[in-house]
Amino acid sequence: MDTWKQLMLTGSVKKYRENQVLHRYQEELMNEGFTVYTFDCRLWDECNYHRDLATTLHFPDYYGNNLHALHDCLTELEAEGGGILLVFTHYDRFAEQFPPVAHAILDTIQAAAWELLLEQVKLVAFVQMSEEDLPFEQLGVRHAEWNDAEFL
């Protein structure tokens, strides 16, 4: 089974503590054709993370600098090769200062990754942190929805 499939069985956002483990998996995804985008989250604050994401991922000029716009632009990404890998280093530093925003970013990525799979685009995120006790539970949770024919 491809590495990306093994990783995504339980979600597209994976946490890493050890850099060597992260780099090993990053190499495996690169060998599977993934394009890698890396973000140093030590430089992020509650506002400038949008600029870093938009610049690195080449979002359009009309990017709205909010989480809804992030979701929209992530779901419009195209994978040249096998997929897209977002690597967030030192994410714990950002998450300690801005926990709700840090969780919302990962939640947005998880939701976008699920939607992209419908278009056969693979999106995976590696989140490197030195703190094991920073939970990011229930990312991209979906609820049962009514079918289109019976929804009123």
pLDDT digits (tens, 9 = 90+) for 88-145: 999 999 999 999 999 999 999 999 999 999 889 999 999 998 876 666 667 766 555 6
Q: What is the pLDDT of residues 46-77, one digit of tens each?
A: 889 999 999 999 999 999 999 999 999 999 99
152, part of any domain: no
103, part of any domain: yes
113, part of any domain: yes
27 lies in which domain range?
Answer: 3-128
14, part of any domain: yes
98, part of any domain: yes
Q: What is the CATH classification number for the domain harbouring 19?
A: 3.30.370.10
Residue length of the chain: 152
Q: Is the pLDDT of residue 9 over 70?
A: yes
| 147 band by pLDDT with thresholds 50, 70 and 90 | low
55, part of any domain: yes
Q: What is this structure's pTM? A: 0.90
Q: What is the pLDDT of residue 58?
A: 96
105, part of any domain: yes
* Structural domain count of the chain: 1
CA dist list (Å): 18 to 14, 65, 130:
12, 31, 8
| 1 band by pLDDT with thresholds 50, 70 and 90 | confident
Q: Is 26 helix (H, G, I), strand (E, B) or coil?
A: helix
Q: What is the pLDDT of residue 68?
A: 95
Q: What is the pLDDT of residue 142?
A: 59
Q: What is the pLDDT of residue 152?
A: 58
66, part of any domain: yes
